[in-house]
Amino acid sequence: MQPMNEIPFETTLAEYVEEMLDSCTRCGKCVEACPSVEPAGISDTKSEDIIGGILELVSTGNGPQASRKWAQSCMRSGACIKACNYGVNPRFLLSMARLGIAKSDNELAERRRQGIEKYRDGSRGVNVLSHLQLDTDALERLGQKSASVSTPVEAPDFVFYTGCNVLKTPHIALLALDIMDALGVSYQVMGGPSHCCGILQLKSGDAEMAGRMGSSTMEKLSHTKSGQVISWCPSCYVQYTETILPTVERQRGSRPFEMSPFMRFLGDRLAQLKPHLQHRVEMRVALHKHPGVAGVVEAAAEILTTVPGIELVDLNQPAVGLQSVDVGVLPKFKRELQLMELEAARDAGVDALVAVYHSDHRELCAHERDWPFRIINILEVVGESMGLHRHDRYKELKIMQDADQIVADCSDLIAKHSLDPSNARDVVMKVLLGDQPLPLRAGALPEPRARGVAPS
């Protein structure tokens, strides 16, 4: 709950933004470093002019076309943050520019309606796809049933914050928990639509509702011994560390917790992890990379090379975006990148293309059908070495490529969870099968696998 007499979130956010605008010198270095500029077709406009227009968009919601285009083509790669020598976070400024545009395009009632609709659609996809794959015990383990969202008697060391969308590929989240169990880490799981970070509301231009949702979830996440929340989702991580927590810190003078991405958390515990990596995993692998959260790619590479038997090869492909879904602001560019990476993985003769994030897995995994290598999550590699296995039901269903067959195959869980089969089919069509930016190669048969482990 917001303490009485506290300045409203939106007011404090506006002050925070104002301070950042004052610090920006309009040098344009952030624009020069940004991998979105070229594919967005604005590289002919001067960098200084593009950032100048962003400042106008943030303040008034109006600004030149090239700046609007930049704001809307931001893949949240974070290259701009590293490029700025003045302590400004241009990625955050771009999100505030998009907020300014949304506010000038629509009245609050319409923005709120859009935010609610996006939240409902998102929740529906997460709820149906997780229930099509998990029994009640597994849902409970992931914090999706009442028993496990109640506050434990003793505060855990950490909260593991899943966010929403990893629940669509639950084997990834369950492996994260299995690994933490093996390491003896005490944690409470929180996430799912009832623990929304507010990103959908912010994207719809409703900063007040985004602040309310993010702050209410923040209170729930605040009860740990270590003052640390481990986050799975990079989108939640950016929403908390770049918008919610800095604003709340201004409101209250302190932050209720710090957030760490799971990969960095695991990377920091390599010495503890090593004795658990008992089984050799004889695979030549390549890492699918997104650089948006600092240190995650590096931690993932270090973790992979610590697994006995793993040979990590570099495909020398562009690494952009916060996670795959964020590259969707430039759809043609994304398709080209994904195809180039699949071809490079084939040419390098890898046994597996290994991704970190859940949206990477959703978008890429069905290509396994058509290419001579597996497409897996990094935690499957770590898990295999630790003797931990979680079946990738998401990929199994998606490779069927037939909504009726998928629904029939899930009929037990549909009955058990009292799901409406026609609603389930609709979600399978739109959310499971529809999440395919680079189309599968129609009719292609899998080529023989060169080496390595049997497909999952």
Which positions lie near ligand SF4, rule CB under 6 A?
Answer: 24-30, 33-34, 36, 51, 74-80, 83-84, 86, 88, 90-91, 94
Q: Which is nearer to ligand SF4, 83 or 155 (CB)?
A: 83
* Smallest gap from residue 352 Cβ to ligand SF4 (A): 28
* Smallest gap from residue 291 Cβ to ligand SF4 (A): 9
* Smallest gap from residue 102 Cβ to ligand SF4 (A): 17
Q: Which is nearer to ligand SF4, 170 or 246 (CB)?
A: 246
* Smallest gap from residue 244 Cβ to ligand SF4 (A): 18
Starting at the earlier edge strand, list the strands of the sheet with 158-161: 187-190, 158-161, 228-231, 258-261
**What's the sign of the alpha-carbon dihedral 10, 14, 15, 16?**
positive
CA-closest candidate to residue 338, choices 350, 356, 325? 325
Q: Which is nearer to ligand SF4, 76 or 425 (CB)?
A: 76
26, 62 contact by CB (below 8 A): no
Q: Which is nearer to ligand SF4, 290 or 390 (CB)?
A: 290
* Smallest gap from residue 57 Cβ to ligand SF4 (A): 13
Read off the tokens for 81. 């943050």
* Smallest gap from residue 80 Cβ to ligand SF4 (A): 3
* Smallest gap from residue 55 Cβ to ligand SF4 (A): 8
Q: Which is nearer to ligand SF4, 83 or 183 (CB)?
A: 83
DSSP lists the bridge partners of residue 228 as 158, 258
Query: What pairing do the DSSP bridges indicate for beta strands 228-231 and 258-261?
Result: parallel
Read off the tokens for 444. 């292609």
Q: Which is nearer to ligand SF4, 82 or 451 (CB)?
A: 82
The CA-atom distances, in angstroms, between 53 and each of 28, 31, 61, 68, 266 are 11, 12, 10, 8, 40
Q: Which is nearer to ligand SF4, 55 or 399 (CB)?
A: 55
* Smallest gap from residue 232 Cβ to ligand SF4 (A): 20
Q: Which is nearer to ligand SF4, 91 or 168 (CB)?
A: 91
Number of H helices, E strands in the chain: 25, 8
Count other C-beta atoms under 10 Å from residue 258's C-beta. 12
CA-closest candidate to residue 133, choices 409, 419, 393? 393
85, 25 contact by CB (below 8 A): no
Q: Which is nearer to ligand SF4, 28 or 256 (CB)?
A: 28
Query: What span, in angstroms and rounded, lies between the C-alpha atoms of 240 and 107?
Result: 26
First to last CA, the chain: 45
Q: Residues 6 or more apart from 21 whose CB is under 8 A from it?
A: 55, 58, 59, 93
Q: Which is nearer to ligand SF4, 26 or 449 (CB)?
A: 26
* Smallest gap from residue 79 Cβ to ligand SF4 (A): 4
* Smallest gap from residue 328 Cβ to ligand SF4 (A): 12
Q: Which is nearer to ligand SF4, 33 or 172 (CB)?
A: 33
Query: What span, in angstroms and rounded, lies between the C-alpha atoms of 193 and 233?
Result: 13
Q: What is the DSSP letter of 166?
A: G
**Residue whose entry in the numeric block shows the structure tokens 């610090």:** 23
* Smallest gap from residue 203 Cβ to ligand SF4 (A): 14
Q: What letter represents residue 376's amino acid?
A: I
The CA-atom distances, in angstroms, between 445 and each of 341, 347, 441 are 19, 18, 9
Read off the tokens for 153. 């008697």
DSSP secondary structure, 273-309, as one string = HGGG--S---EEEEE----SSTTHHHHHHHHHHHSTT
